[in-house]
Amino acid sequence: MIKQGVSLKTYNSFGVVAKADLFAVAKSTEDLQLILGDRRFHSAWILGGGSNTLFCNAPKQPIIHVNIAGIQIIEEDTEDVVILVGSGVNWHELVLWSLEQGFRGIENLSLIPGNVGAAPIQNIGAYGVELQDVFEKCSFVHRNNQTIETFDKAACKFGYRDSIFKNELKNKVVITNVSLRLKKKNYNLNTSYGAIEQELLSNNITVPSPKDVSDAVIKIRSNKLPDPKQLGNAGSFFKNPIVSNTQFQKLKTSFADIPHYIQPNGNYKIPAAWLIEQVGLKGVRKGEVGIHKHHALVLLNYGNASGQDIRDFSLSVQEKVQNHFNILLQPEVNFCC
Ligand SMILES: Cc1cc2nc3c(=O)[nH]c(=O)nc-3n(C[C@H](O)[C@H](O)[C@H](O)COP(=O)(O)OP(=O)(O)OC[C@H]3O[C@@H](n4cnc5c(N)ncnc54)[C@H](O)[C@@H]3O)c2cc1C
């Protein structure tokens, strides 16, 4: 269960070289409690699929890889089903499983890399759907005393790429399972976002099934996003910044065409990709690190970048955007340094 000197290269979608002095795998909640109770793992880094993690060379902390399996139906009636899923289940495999069962709710979240346990951390989202739309509850182990607790949706305080696990409970708990409420019938599919509708129509699909929507999302994503197996990346590196109305009005006087999305509370979300493109960084490459030529939010490892190279490059992107727009981009990616 506990190994020494483990290479992390295949455990991170950036594909950077890093080594963990101590590496433990938790295959059950009991395993996890035992490992967390071991003094050597008190400050350990929790690792799922490593698709939202940047290892800066040699991480100082030991690593706990959460690999709890299992998908179980725990509630069912004529309309809904509630499933309990182990943290180590691959997210996309869960989506495919749910479609095979005829369940609806997570088809728009097809092909998001990573594991189920990390999904609540940043409330994963894509194509107009977020985890919170289907989330029922999750259980976790407290790192300090290994007790187990379960939170419902309200307690998780989900927001845009945000939750209590990135704030009050950051580094304090490890999620062991997640329950989702999916629909068996009487559902509405969300096809209005991005190019889904267009993709469906190009296949002459006017009354799509959840599987059709998933196929459309898979096709769009595969054409758009670089496959981490071929070109190391972690999807969007930065979050879209949200600015106050006052700051937005100021920005608008200098940048009349700034794209924006008004938020329910009157703040404005600005696409980080636009900001990065405006400062001339889209498609720029510096040594082994760069920004994708079609996606200004995707930082790339061309093969031999170190975690530190990627980190330094991301700091230079932040600095350029801040100098030009007075907006500090916040990384979506988690730094294990
Ligand atoms: C090509 C590509 C496309 C992507 N597209 C999207 C997208 O469309 N939408 C989106 O939201 N994300 C996207 N992502 C980001 C990523 O897929 C998600 O953030 C995913 O949930 C990360 O899962 P993971 O298991 O790989 O997390 P990891 O990278 O292993 O961990 C991420 C964070 O969660 C913590 N963590 C992991 N597991 C647990 C646990 N069980 N308990 C407590 N903490 C834990 C880690 O310590 C770390 O801080 C994309 C990434 C890539 C590479």
Concatenated DSSP letters of 307-336: HHHHHHHHHHHHHHHHHHHS--PPBSSEEE
Identify the pLDDT of residue 57: 77
Overall residue count recorded for the chain in this entry: 337
Tens digits of residue pLDDT in 132-153: 999 999 999 999 999 999 999 9
Q: How far is the CA of 245 from the centre of ligand 1 (A)?
A: 31
* Low-confidence spans in the chain with pLDDT less than 70: none
Q: Where are the domains of the chain?
A: 2-66, 71-224, 242-336
Concatenated DSSP letters of 38-92: SGGGTTPEEESSSTTEEE-SS-SS-EEEE----EEEEEE-SSEEEEEEETTSBHH
Contact 57, 18 (CB under 8 A): yes
Give yes or no: 110 in active site: no
Identify the pLDDT of residue 193: 83
Euclidean distance between CA atoms 99 and 212, whole angstroms: 10
Question: Torsion angle of alpha carbons 311, 315, 316, 320, nearest 10°?
Answer: 150
| Pairing state between β 63-66 and 45-47 | parallel
Tens digits of residue pLDDT in 168-183: 999 999 999 999 999 9
Residue with tokens 């699929």: 49
Q: Which atom from ligand 1 is nearest to the alpha carbon of 115?
A: 25
Which whole-number Å values give the CA distances from 165 to 53, 132, 173, in the listed order? 15, 13, 8
Euclidean distance between CA atoms 334 and 79, whole angstroms: 38
Concatenated DSSP letters of 130-190: EGGGTEEEEEEEETTT--EEEEEHHHHT-BTTB-GGGTTTTTTEEEEEEEEEEESSS----
Is there a common fold for 2-66 and 71-224? no
Write out the CATH class of domain 242-336: alpha beta
DSSP run (H or E) holding 300: strand 299-301
Identify the pLDDT of residue 56: 87
Identify the pLDDT of residue 72: 97
Best CATH choice for the domain 71-224 from the list 3.40.50.720, 3.10.180.10, 3.30.465.10, 3.30.1360.10:
3.30.465.10
Q: Which atom from ligand 1 is nearest to the alpha carbon of 53?
A: 29
Contact 299, 283 (CB under 8 A): no
Question: Quick check: CB of 178 below 6 Å from ligand 1?
Answer: no
Q: How far is the CA of 120 from the centre of ligand 1 (A)?
A: 9
Backbone angles phi and psi of 326, in degrees to 5: 60, 40
Identify the pLDDT of residue 139: 98
Pick the closest to residue 299 from 237, 241, 239, 249 (CA basis): 237
Q: Which protein residue's CA is at the shortest distance from atom 10 of ligand 1? A: 124
DSSP run (H or E) holding 243: strand 242-243
Question: Quick check: CB of 115 below 6 Å from ligand 1?
Answer: yes
Which whole-number Å values give the CA distances from 159 to 130, 247, 258, 329, in the listed order? 9, 21, 23, 17
* Check whether domain 2-66 has CATH 3.30.43.10, yes or no: yes
Interacting residues of 20 by C-beta distance below 8 A, sequence separation 6+ = 5, 6, 8, 59, 62, 63
Identify the pLDDT of residue 60: 86
Ligand 1, residues 10, 51, 122: which to mutate, most atoms within 8 A of Cβ? 51
Cβ atoms within 10 Å, residue 78: 7
Would you state the structure tokens that stand for residue 235, as one six-digit string?
A: 């999807």
Identify the pLDDT of residue 333: 97
DSSP run (H or E) holding 290: strand 289-291
Identify the pLDDT of residue 58: 79
